[in-house]
Amino acid sequence: MALNQFIGLTCEIKSMKDEDILFGKIAAARDERLQIDGPSENFPILDAGMKVKILVNGKTGGFNIFVGWVVSSQKELLVVGNVTNLKEYETRRYFRVNVDLPARAYEMTRDAKPFQVRVKNLSLGGMLLETDHLLRPEAKVKIDPKFFSQEVEWLYATVVRALKTREGMLAYGVDFVDLADWEEQRLCAFLYERQRQEIRKKQGFGFL
């Protein structure tokens, strides 16, 4: 959906819990970014990387809802990036990308030692870890996220299921816990790029 069609329309910025944050008008749109201007210099200052909902009021009474992450916040304007419609965001949140990436993990116990895993698939909600390390149901783990980001310190997760692969290895499904908005933004960008690469590969364009 081309975002420039919404230039000039009023909008509401809400938290992901639907709490009102500010009201403004869409002043500019480029790529996946929206600039929202206020009627006066009274916008609250939002943290960069904060995830927000954008409710855009239509000219004929309808509305569209988007999700994005704060790029820049000033008293007179707000810039939100990686803007996508709510339905696509929810789909992307649970869409898993197949990968095969090495990583290091720890159980959240005293004197825990690192163990090696291979990340076999990944989504915004969790991942599938293949390892020869035994994990109990609902075990708390932390995973080194260097395979997708140098900025995120750890990914915290809970074991929710276990299965055996064809090779006889154990694989554990884990759900992320307390993923910060800016961390989710980094992961979302990584997943989007991997999806793009998979699509281009299937279409015969390689990894351009």
User: Are 3-86 and 94-202 equal in CATH topology?
Assistant: yes
The reported pTM is: 0.62
Second-level CATH architecture of 3-86: Beta Barrel (2.40)
208: confidence class by pLDDT, cuts 50, 70, 90: very low
Let me know: does 102 contact 68? Beta carbons within 8 Å: no
pLDDT score, position 205: 52
For residue 202, give the 3-state DSSP assignment. Answer: helix
| Residue found by looking up tokens 């304007």 in the block | 77
Mean pLDDT value across residues 195-208: 63
Which tens digits make up the pLDDT trace of 173-186?
999 998 888 888 88
Let me know: does 175 contact 160? Beta carbons within 8 Å: yes
207: confidence class by pLDDT, cuts 50, 70, 90: very low
Mean pLDDT value across residues 4-28: 92
> Which CATH class for the 94-202 domain?
mainly beta
- Higher local confidence (pLDDT), 152 or 169: 152
| Residue type at position 187 | L
- Domain locations along the chain: 3-86, 94-202
Helix ranges, 72-204 (H): 86-94, 181-202
Half-sphere exposure in the Cβ direction for 78 (13 Å, CA): 32
Cα separation, 143 vs 18, in Å, equals: 31
**Residues 139-160: b if buried by 16+ CB within 10 A, e if exposed:** bebbbbbebbeeebeebebbbe
Which tens digits make up the pLDDT trace of 91-130?
767 678 889 999 999 999 888 899 999 999 998 889 999 9
202: confidence class by pLDDT, cuts 50, 70, 90: low
pLDDT score, position 13: 94
Cα separation, 12 vs 84, in Å, equals: 15
Q: Which phi and psi (to 5°) does residue 76 adopt?
A: -110, -10
